[in-house]
Amino acid sequence: MKYGVAIIGAGNIAKEHILGYLNLKDRCEIKAICDVYIDKAKSLAIENSLKVDIVDDYKLLLKRDDIDIVSICLPPSLHQKVTCDFLKENKNVLCEKPMASSLNEAKLMIDQAEKSTALLSIVSQNRFKKSIMKVKQMLDSKIFGKIVYTRVNSMWYRGDNYYTLWWRGTWEKEGGGCTLNHSVHQIDLMGWLLGNPISIYSTIKNYLHANSEVEDTSLSIIEFSNSIAQLGVSLNDMDEKQEFFIQCENASIAIPWKIRCMKQKENGFPIRDEEKEKYYNNLYNELDEIEIEGHSAQILNFINALDKKEDLIVSAQDGYKALEIITAIYKSSRLKELVHLPLKEDDEFMSKETIIKKMPRFYEKSKSVENLKDGITL
Ligand SMILES: NC(=O)c1ccc[n+]([C@@H]2O[C@H](COP(=O)([O-])OP(=O)(O)OC[C@H]3O[C@@H](n4cnc5c(N)ncnc54)[C@H](O)[C@@H]3O)[C@@H](O)[C@H]2O)c1
């Protein structure tokens, strides 16, 4: 049986989903594309030589028997409603990051998935990178000893024009700034590689984006049960590096992959342990590599999970966990206090109303356009 697929939202990221499904032509077929701007949906179909139904209202697709999988490629504030509507009809949903624009919304999505027979997964395509997959296996095997300190750089450059798109740059529609929409990738990886944090202290600022209410910079200290991490996020870094540096008992490792090992002299000062570095480098090089990366690899895993050939690598709970860390970052920066995790169910920052009401508006969003030209870089 081939899975029928619908793409909801024909903007920037929809192209990556289409590519992923087209790579699996023997297992799925795109049946429909939906966008409120019908011309965007039509162009996307033409660009990809797809003969599919084009609709401007996703509700027209809810009851279609030939649709089994739905990719939600909409702005964050629409993820919950549209995902839940499809889950109610037992359609499997792959929803773009961030899972939702508040934790209460994310909870509704998980509850609805549990009530249905369908699978819900949240996009976190950076898990599906060769180096990340290998480091994950090595960390899980405990080969480096205890993890003690991690430094994460989530550095990006987006100019002020980025925020003219209508849904970006407000607490209401985007749900947050670069901590939510850019570093969600690194935050998800941090949870996946290091486990669940127990507390967070953060500060957020907006230095250079005058058409945006939300932050363009954040810095957090994140404590795990046996280690700490620092997370720096910026939209003002023209070098645009996303990096992990993990200090373990036996080695300091970096992603992109690099390893450094030291021995101590009698006085405690270091000498390089090249033999150990060679040993770890050999182990790394011998590990099997995933053949495809990114969205296409996540879509392959999603379809394999539906066919019960593999475990789902990014669950709805994983999407929730990443959003919970981000919410704790916002809460800590707002209250200027240490926030303990997990957040309690009655925590006021679970709700979107609190986020909208209490988070600082760094600037007023005064310019807005319905669509921006040019594609995006991932
Ligand atoms: N995984 C990644 O690396 C990555 C990269 C970029 C964006 N994203 C995420 O993907 C999502 C979409 O981002 P984008 O950059 O593609 O945005 P976009 O604005 O380019 O695309 C969103 C599309 O949804 C359409 N739309 C809005 N409301 C609609 C509705 N009610 N019904 C149907 N269509 C509607 C818009 O017209 C637009 O074409 C966001 O959640 C974003 O965070 C993820």
**CB contact set of 267 (below 8 Å; sequence gap of 6+):** none
Q: What is residue 17's predicted lDDT score, i.e. its pLDDT?
A: 98
How much of the chain, in percent, has pLDDT values that exceed 70? 100
Nearest CA to ligand 1 atom 24: 9
Give the number of C-alpha atoms closer than 13 A to the C-alpha of residue 118, restricted to the C-beta side. 26
Mean pLDDT, residues 166-173 taken together: 95
Q: For the chain, what is the largest distance between any 2 Cα atoms, rounded to a whole number of angstroms? A: 73
pLDDT per residue as tens digits for the range 71-100 = 999 999 999 999 999 999 999 999 999 999
pLDDT per residue as tens digits for the range 1-45 = 899 999 999 999 999 999 999 999 999 999 999 999 999 999 999
pLDDT tier, 67 (very low <50, low <70, confident <90, very high otherwise): very high
Phi-psi bin for 286: left (phi > 0), alpha (psi -120 to 50), beta? Answer: alpha
Q: What is residue 374's predicted lDDT score, i.e. its pLDDT?
A: 77
Provide Rg for the chain, Cα atoms: 21
The candidate with the shortest Cα–Cα distance to 246, out of 347, 330, 131, is: 131
Instruction: Please check whether residue 80 is in contact with residue 122, taking contact to mean a CB–CB distance below 8 angstroms.
Output: no
Mutational pocket test of ligand 1: of 7, 8, 12, 99, the residue with most ligand atoms within 8 Å of the beta carbon: 12
Ligand 1 atom at minimal distance to the Cα of residue 167: 19
pLDDT tier, 375 (very low <50, low <70, confident <90, very high otherwise): confident
pLDDT per residue as tens digits for the range 113-131 = 999 999 999 999 999 999 9
Backbone angles phi, psi at 252, to 5 degrees: -105, 125
Mutational pocket test of ligand 1: of 62, 96, 302, the residue with most ligand atoms within 8 Å of the beta carbon: 96
- Gap between the Cα atoms of 243 and 257, Å rounded: 10
Q: Is the pLDDT of residue 69 over 80?
A: yes
Q: Which CATH class is domain 127-290+320-358?
A: alpha beta
- Gap between the Cα atoms of 214 and 361, Å rounded: 6
Ligand 1 shell residues, CB under 6 Å: 8-13, 34-37, 40, 58, 73-76, 78, 96-97, 123, 125, 165, 181, 376, 378
Tell me the helices (H) and strands (E) count for the chain, helix number first: 11, 16
Ligand 1 atom at minimal distance to the Cα of residue 76: 41
Q: Give the distance (Å) from ligand 1 centre to CA of residue 164.
A: 14
Nearest CA to ligand 1 atom 39: 11
Tokens standing for residue 140? 């899980």
**3-state SS of the chain: helix, strand, coil percent to 5?**
35, 20, 40
Q: Give the distance (Å) from ligand 1 centre to CA of residue 40.
A: 12
How much of the chain, in percent, has pLDDT values that exceed 90? 97
Distance of CA 173 to the CA centre of its chain: 17
Mean pLDDT, residues 185-193 taken together: 97
Domain covering 3-126+294-314, topology: Rossmann fold (3.40.50)
Query: Which ranges in the chain are annotated with CATH 3.30.360.10?
Result: 127-290+320-358
Mean pLDDT, residues 168-175 taken together: 95
Measured from the Cβ of residue 177, the count of other Cβ atoms closer than 10 Å reads 30
